Amino acid sequence: MDTRTLELLQHQSCDLLEGLKQLLDDGILTDVTLRVQTWRFACHRVVLAASSPYFRAMFAHDLEESRQKVITLQDIDPMALGTIILYMYTSKLYITEDNVQDLLVTANILGISRVYSACVQFMLSHITVNNCCGVFQFGSWLNIEDLIKKAKECISDGYPEVCKGAEFVNLPLSCLIDILSDDSLNVEEEETVYESVMAWVRHDPATRGHHLGNLLKDVRLAIIPTEYFEKVIAKDKLVLETDLGQQLILKVKEHHKKVEEKKQRLELEHTDTDVCENDNIEGADISGTDQDPPNEDLTLWNMLPFAEHTYTATNNIHIELNTAVRFGMYVEELLCFIDGRNPPTYFNPVQHKFYLGRCDEGGEMTRRKCHNNAAICTPDNEVFVAGGVNVRPGGSRREQTHCESDFHVYNPQEGAWMERKRMSTARCMFSMGCAGGKIYAVGGRAHFTYAKCTSTVEAYSIQNDSWEYVIPMPCRLCSHAVVSARDRIYVLGGTDEKDQVHASTLTYDPEREVWRELAPMGTARCEFGAAVIGEEIYVVGGISPQGLLCSVEVYDIRRDRWRYLPDFPQDRKSVKLAVLGGQLYACGGQVIVHRPQGTWSLRNAHDLWRYDRGNQQWESVVDSIPFSTTSVCVTSKVSIKYLHTKEEQN
């Protein structure tokens, strides 16, 4: 078929649709009326039959409707039908979050596969933690596998937030049981699951109370800490009102007792083998076997004449406790090293264990390799990276030192950086902070070599994926540090457009939109590390007008006062600071190496140090983290299920 024929077909298709729409609008040659509730739609049978297998079967066979002028349709939304009729005559489909479910149901009834698929795709692309429960329920009702799978993934990933939403307490029992039985729930504590079940039951205790026992079977009660179980669950009136709830409490107590006895036996075995052997002989019928120790309450009940009669309905139920941990319980807080292109590399400084981010085979990294970029981990544990100097081999010096405005968030499930709205200004040698649900890109340079420092500040709305400028800083700065505390942004040190090094401390209040100058640091510095622990801001190393620094200062936010701490073991610039488990870690950076000829050069440092605040001294953790110098370091919680060790990679 030549191009000319294709053009004629396209024109004919458009002309035909325009002609049919005009006939519909003018009411010409319409031969059937569809009635839905109080609405009437005058249409053409041939158009309905050509577009819908439902109407084709109705009109092409000897059915009563084929002879009727007015056909009443049941269980169809009138607005959805009107939208689909408009699609039949124009090929245009108007889908919104408000009408998509009604459209999908109507398209399913009428058998219009294109509309059905378009609605499914629309819903898949609009699933959030706020609507995933409703989508899961809807998909389960219509048995739409793609919706069920995607919605359930969203529920599992964001369960701590999802279970607090309005949709959660309206889930039907079958959907809730399906969710609770899933090992992939992203919860760090099983108490979250228990509390969500109780919230669902208490939403309508009259009709849901008798389901509580069965729901609790899907809660991993045995892995809930004993103290919480005894104080909260074992004393909850709703739980005690159900026979199955009472049995579960007894079963869990047996489990706790058995665990404690095994723990005590192990302790005895390690301390006194002879005593342990005598104990095993004397108590072989109970503690020396692998069977569960008899529960005193159950033994007593079985001895009473009425015990069997009272528990006839539930006594034969076999209760098996599920002790499997859920996906979110593999979450660890780790040091996260980001070069902005490859998946982050993680390090556990306590176990001295490295993890590599997942990178699907054949997967493409969406971000260029940049230096002097900035990264941040938000309170919701999302890791963002922005800007930097784009590494471009070859070309002019200006091209090699070009800055970027790109902005990405890391997706640990996919092992890739996902592109977000770009910054309004390309930046390098800048820093970012987070306050009030927004990320702030502060200062820096628009070009590494050929641009001066800037005072501009722009805020990124995580919810809306948009940037906007806010009140600029009182001065132009680059190579400074930015930290977040008390829902405010703190800007420390840096250099200005005249290359003067600052000791200033500035704070920005996003709510009042004002900058304020605080007490300056004791030493002016740039290219240094900064981090927050509680109500204190720590700074380490950097460059002063006199050279590299090893000095350490801490700022008391409440008292607006700086004081010095013991020096870092080495003069160092570009050191990275991070806080993990309430402890301060310093890594990477550059140090001066003096040569025999009297010259000197900068050398990359790869070691990791920890500051002991109790003893006020620095402790060496590891001698080498190879990627620490070229990476930004933040602290991030991540499930090790998404990661693998270097040994596993090899």
Residues 519 and 400 in one domain: yes
Q: Is 29 left (phi over 0), alpha (psi -120 to 50) or beta?
A: left
Question: Measuring CA to CA, which residue among 628, 612, 476, 635 is closest to residue 552?
Answer: 612
- Whole-number pLDDT of residue 205: 94
Average confidence score pLDDT of the chain: 86
Q: 3-state SS of the chain: helix, strand, coil percent to 5?
A: 35, 25, 40
Query: Does 203 score more than 90 pLDDT?
Result: yes
Nearest-angstrom CA–CA distance, 231 and 564: 46
Residues 435 and 390 in one domain: yes
State the CATH number of the domain containing residue 643: 2.120.10.80
Q: What angle do CA 328, 330, 336 make, to 5 degrees?
A: 100
**Mind listing the pLDDT tens digit for each residue in 25-41?**
888 899 999 999 999 99
Q: Using DSSP, how many helices (H) and how many strands (E) does the chain show?
A: 21, 34
Residues 282 and 419 in one domain: no
- Whole-number pLDDT of residue 369: 55
Going by pLDDT thresholds of 50, 70 and 90, the confidence category of residue 113 is very high
Residues 235 and 368 in one domain: no
Helix (H, G, I), strand (E, B) or coil at 593: strand
**Mind listing the pLDDT tens digit for each residue in 444-501?**
998 766 668 999 999 999 989 999 999 999 999 999 999 999 999 999 999 999 999 9
Question: Which residues touch 134 (CB under 8 Å, ≥6 apart)?
Answer: 167
**Residue 145 belongs to some domain of the structure:** no
- Whole-number pLDDT of residue 164: 94
**Residue 158 belongs to some domain of the structure:** no
Residues 239 and 346 in one domain: no
Nearest-angstrom CA–CA distance, 562 and 519: 7
Residues 284 and 337 in one domain: no
- Whole-number pLDDT of residue 311: 34
Query: Does 295 score more than 60 pLDDT?
Result: no
Going by pLDDT thresholds of 50, 70 and 90, the confidence category of residue 146 is very high
**Mind listing the pLDDT tens digit for each residue in 507-518?**
999 999 999 999
The backbone torsions φ and ψ at residue 40, rounded to the nearest 5 degrees and listed phi first, read: -130, 135
Query: Where is pLDDT greater, at 298 or 315?
Result: 315
Q: Which residues pair with 531 in a beta bridge?
A: 538
Nearest-angstrom CA–CA distance, 308 and 306: 6
Instruction: Identify whether the C-beta of residue 275 lies closer than 8 Å to the C-beta of residue 268.
Output: yes
Residues 606 and 521 in one domain: yes
Residue 455, token pair as written in the block? 């005072």
3-class SS string, 506-570: EEEECCCCEEEEECCCCCCCECCEEEEECCEEEEECCEECCEECCCEEEEECCCCEEEEECCCCC
Residues 500 and 366 in one domain: yes
- Whole-number pLDDT of residue 602: 87
Nearest-angstrom CA–CA distance, 488 and 507: 7
Query: Where is pLDDT greater, at 293 or 262?
Result: 262
The backbone torsions φ and ψ at residue 535, rounded to the nearest 5 degrees and listed phi first, read: -105, 25
Residue 244, token pair as written in the block? 């199955």
Residues 444 and 405 in one domain: yes
Domain hosting 247: range is 205-310
Residues 229 and 120 in one domain: no
Question: Measuring CA to CA, which residue among 266, 254, 324, 321 is closest to residue 291?
Answer: 254
Query: Where is pLDDT greater, at 269 or 602?
Result: 602
Helix (H, G, I), strand (E, B) or coil at 638: strand
Q: How many folded domains does the chain comprise?
A: 3
Nearest-angstrom CA–CA distance, 399 and 394: 8
Question: Which residues touch 3 (CB under 8 Å, ≥6 apart)?
Answer: none
**Residue 106 belongs to some domain of the structure:** yes
Place of tokens 């219009």: 112
Instruction: Identify whether the C-beta of residue 213 lies closer than 8 Å to the C-beta of residue 244.
Output: yes
**Residue 403 belongs to some domain of the structure:** yes
Instruction: Report CA-CA distances (Å) from 206 to 170, 235, 242, 580, 644.
Output: 15, 20, 13, 46, 48
**Stretch 355-361: mean pLDDT, rounded?**
69
Nearest-angstrom CA–CA distance, 77 and 87: 15
- Whole-number pLDDT of residue 359: 61
Question: Which residues touch 477 (CB under 8 Å, ≥6 apart)?
Answer: 442, 443, 453, 455, 491, 494, 495, 496, 502
Instruction: Identify whether the C-beta of residue 487 lies closer than 8 Å to the C-beta of residue 435.
Output: yes
Handedness of CA 634, 639, 645, 649 (dihedral sign): negative
Q: Which of 94, 126, 158 is where one domain is finished?
A: 126
Query: Does 634 score more than 90 pLDDT?
Result: yes
State the CATH number of the domain containing residue 36: 3.30.710.10
Q: Name the H helices within 272-350.
A: 273-282, 296-303, 307-310
Instruction: Identify whether the C-beta of residue 473 lies closer than 8 Å to the C-beta of residue 455.
Output: yes
Helix (H, G, I), strand (E, B) or coil at 172: coil
Instruction: Identify whether the C-beta of residue 152 lies closer than 8 Å to the C-beta of residue 175.
Output: no
Residue 420, token pair as written in the block? 């977000």
Other CB atoms within a 10 A radius of the CB of residue 440 amount to 22
Full-model pTM: 0.70
Q: Which residues pair with 457 in a beta bridge?
A: 442
- Whole-number pLDDT of residue 7: 64
Instruction: Identify whether the C-beta of residue 592 lies closer than 8 Å to the C-beta of residue 548.
Output: yes
b/e burial code for range 162-193 (CB count within 10 A of at least 16 → b): bbebebbbebeeebbebbbeeeebbbebbbbb
**Mind listing the pLDDT tens digit for each residue in 296-308?**
443 333 333 333 3
Instruction: Identify whether the C-beta of residue 433 lies closer than 8 Å to the C-beta of residue 375.
Output: no
- Whole-number pLDDT of residue 3: 55
Question: Which residues touch 223 (CB under 8 Å, ≥6 apart)?
Answer: 190, 323, 325
Question: Measuring CA to CA, which residue among 365, 401, 372, 384 is closest to residue 573?
Answer: 372
**Residue 316 belongs to some domain of the structure:** no
- Whole-number pLDDT of residue 413: 77
Q: Which of 126, 145, 177 is where one domain is finished?
A: 126
- Whole-number pLDDT of residue 313: 38
**Residue 533 belongs to some domain of the structure:** yes
Instruction: Identify whether the C-beta of residue 69 lies closer than 8 Å to the C-beta of residue 33.
Output: yes
Residue 649, token pair as written in the block? 């990679």
**Residue 172 belongs to some domain of the structure:** no
The backbone torsions φ and ψ at residue 339, rounded to the nearest 5 degrees and listed phi first, read: -100, 0
Helix (H, G, I), strand (E, B) or coil at 499: coil
Nearest-angstrom CA–CA distance, 315 and 603: 73
Going by pLDDT thresholds of 50, 70 and 90, the confidence category of residue 601 is confident
- Alpha-carbon radius of gyration of the chain: 33
**Residue 181 belongs to some domain of the structure:** no
- Whole-number pLDDT of residue 276: 46
Q: Which of 72, 96, 126 is where one domain is finished?
A: 126
Question: Measuring CA to CA, which residue among 605, 608, 627, 633 is closest to residue 619?
Answer: 608
**Mind listing the pLDDT tens digit for each residue in 386-423?**
998 876 655 555 555 678 899 999 988 778 889 999 99
- Whole-number pLDDT of residue 320: 84
Question: Measuring CA to CA, which residue among 155, 571, 633 is closest to residue 385?
Answer: 633
Helix (H, G, I), strand (E, B) or coil at 49: helix
Query: Does 98 score more than 60 pLDDT?
Result: yes
Nearest-angstrom CA–CA distance, 289 and 188: 33
- Whole-number pLDDT of residue 304: 34
Residues 602 and 503 in one domain: yes
Going by pLDDT thresholds of 50, 70 and 90, the confidence category of residue 277 is very low
Nearest-angstrom CA–CA distance, 82 and 88: 10
Instruction: Identify whether the C-beta of residue 136 lies closer than 8 Å to the C-beta of residue 175.
Output: yes
Nearest-angstrom CA–CA distance, 370 and 284: 67
- Whole-number pLDDT of residue 337: 92
Nearest-angstrom CA–CA distance, 601 and 590: 10
- Whole-number pLDDT of residue 122: 96
- Whole-number pLDDT of residue 174: 93
Residues 298 and 339 in one domain: no
